[in-house]
Structure 1
Amino acid sequence: MNITILGPGAIGSLYAYKLHQAGHRVSVWGRSPQDTVVIELDGGSAIHFPNCDVTSLKASDLVIVTLKAWQVELALKPLLKHLNSDAILLFLHNGMGTVEHLATAINHHPVLLGTSTHGALRLSSSQVRHTGLGQTFIGPWNDKGSRCSFIADVLDHAFKPVAWNSEIQTALWSKLVINCAINPLTAINNCQNGGLAHKDYQQQIAMVVREATECANQVGVVLKAEEMLDTVYKVIHATAQNYSSMHQDIYNKRQSEIDYITGYVVSISKRYGIAVPTNLALYHQIKQIESSWNQHD
């Protein structure tokens, strides 16, 4: 297949490299002014990918979006005019809400949503390390997308395990609840994920999970708060030494994905009149930290 990776950061580079190794024609679309982007994965041989090449973009059968959620709309909209209407769009990023903002612009494409638990770290402009084996689930956002289950097989062949999930909203909401519980708290308290196992955070985490699952249930995604809380603690222990992506963004004074994680829960709560005081407080704390950087500049 002809595949374009929009956003060749750590995860995007990981997918680009693996898909190239599987025999696909892969190009990337990133911020680098260079015509090619060089990627070395885990000390393997360097691969040169065409970058920001309109000819490759026009030929794309599949565009995989691996940007930060807040970057997606601005980066993708100018590219849509170059894409064939049959080009499949796969959104593979943290958080929720980006696709809704783009709905009218992308609905004529087959659209897929995905979630991945792979870990990747960018060591330099070209070197990437695969830091954690995970799994990827993809599923349909629209009717055209529901006819593209073969993409799961294509990706699985390149980068196992990848599975098709026709109930992808359940998987996305489950990950969202986990992110709501872990990301803001690790960012605010400047700690690794494992730090949240301390009893001081117990009540706060339980409230975050209860509020977020109530929002999920309201939009027709059935999640049980007790089961989700158990899952959150399993992730906290399994990733104890990791720093969450939001921790890294706040620590390095970069814009976080709070609007598409906790902010998405807050937006659903407002739509349905659900009280989410714990999530709302965390949302405002992160936004306050972000706005303080501008005040000090």
Structure 2
Amino acid sequence: MTNKLNNIVVVGQGAMGLLWYHHLSQASESLNIKLSLLASNQTLLTKDQLNSASYQFTRYIQEQAEDSKLNSQLNYQTSYPLSYSQTTDISSAEVIILCLKSFHIANALKQIAKDINPNCLVILAHNGMGTLADVVKLLPSQQAILTMLTTHGSYRYAPLAVTHTGLGQSDIGLLAGELSLRQQEQLISQLNSALPQVDFHQDIVTKQWLKLAINCVINPITAIENIDNGKINNKNYSEQINLLLTEIIAVSQAESIDLLLSDLQLTVHRVAQSTAKNCSSMRSDVLAGRSTEVDYINGYIHRLGQQHNIATPENTRLWQQVRNIKSTT
């Protein structure tokens, strides 16, 4: 087991990848860590472009700012140097954080699996569930595979340009493999020094299901209806929300996960309220004509329902509807 976690690679140049890269980079000197970013398009860059790379970051801005002169986010935008990962960075990495769409996780790992040290901590940071089955096939049995769930808001408005749109927290836990207490404590300490609050959970799977339930409601409805998150709380969506959650609870129970309808209803309401003006990730993908993660959200409920012979008509309907929207854009 490695005793230090000082070499970190962030995989993915999307909103969440750049958010974590930025905050880890800002803390790198005090934490004494070496940090790099593995981007999907970096093989297309020239040597000069690789060596002179930079990204734009706009820090989180309180909406209640009194000074009207500070309304423009451009006033907060700053350029920072970017260090791209090389093969040696992958092989020496003690932590690899994959901030990717769920459908890119397995393919990204296939590209680098042969270079990953078996003692490296591999962290999956994506929406939805269902990637683990493919991931464990690509890595040694003892490899520590963790998941990280975050409620921070981040928006990429241009290539290598991101805005931190909302403060949140992150939950992390072990899905497979081996993790020492020392590794756990050091990992949480380093992540908290970069972008707090980060908490470790022994039962991270229940946390995954809670987030999945929220995503199964807010993401497809906002994408299909083309509405901001807050409008989910309108009464005309109440029946549909209850149908979705009731199906999710039935499937979760077959997976030995206990969820309560009243708790999920309240959580969905609170999340929609706290992110009322936000555009969900699935809605953003649909509007931009990109592939969505619906196969790993409502589609995951559909597939598990089939496995357990549990009907999931509402989740299945929304899964198919989002896929049809995507295919016609």
**What is the TM-score of this pair, normalised by structure 2?**
0.85
Deviation string, structure 1 residues 219-258 (Cα, Å, up to 9, x no partner): 1121111111111011111111111100011111110000
Percentage identity across paired residues of the two chains = 31
Cα distance, 1:100 vs structure 2: 1.4
Q: Are 1:139 and 2:200 an aligned pair?
A: no
Distance in structure 2 (CA, Å) of the matches to 1:210 and 1:216: 10
Moved more, 284-293 or 15-24: 284-293
Alignment correspondent of 1:80: 113
2:57–2:80 Cα contact (<8 Å) kept: no
Deviation string, structure 1 residues 159-188 (Cα, Å, up to 9, x no partner): 111010111011110000000011111111
Q: Are 1:155 and 2:191 an aligned pair?
A: yes
Alignment correspondent of 1:190: 226
Distance in structure 2 (CA, Å) of the matches to 1:183 and 1:145: 33
Say which one has the larger Rg: 2
Distance in structure 2 (CA, Å) of the matches to 1:123 and 1:254: 14
Alignment correspondent of 1:31: 40
Alignment correspondent of 1:70: 103
1:140–1:146 Cα contact (<8 Å) kept: no
Distance in structure 2 (CA, Å) of the matches to 1:126 and 1:257: 21
Matches within 5 A, 1:235-254: 235-254=271-290
Distance in structure 2 (CA, Å) of the matches to 1:125 and 1:284: 30
Q: Are 1:20 and 2:25 an aligned pair?
A: yes
Alignment correspondent of 1:173: 209
Distance in structure 2 (CA, Å) of the matches to 1:59 and 1:246: 35
Alignment correspondent of 1:61: 94
Distance in structure 2 (CA, Å) of the matches to 1:113 and 1:127: 25
Deviation string, structure 1 residues 81-120 (Cα, Å, up to 9, x no partner): 1111111100011111111122221234111111000011
- List 4+ stretches of structure 1 deviating above 4 A: none
Distance in structure 2 (CA, Å) of the matches to 1:62 and 1:52: 13
SS at match of 2:137: helix
Distance in structure 1 (CA, Å) of the matches to 2:221 and 2:144: 36
Alignment correspondent of 2:66: none
Distance in structure 2 (CA, Å) of the matches to 1:241 and 1:208: 23
Distance in structure 1 (CA, Å) of the matches to 2:238 and 2:148: 30
2:155–2:165 Cα contact (<8 Å) kept: yes
Alignment correspondent of 2:237: 201
**What is the TM-score of this pair, normalised by structure 1?**
0.94
Aligned residues: 293
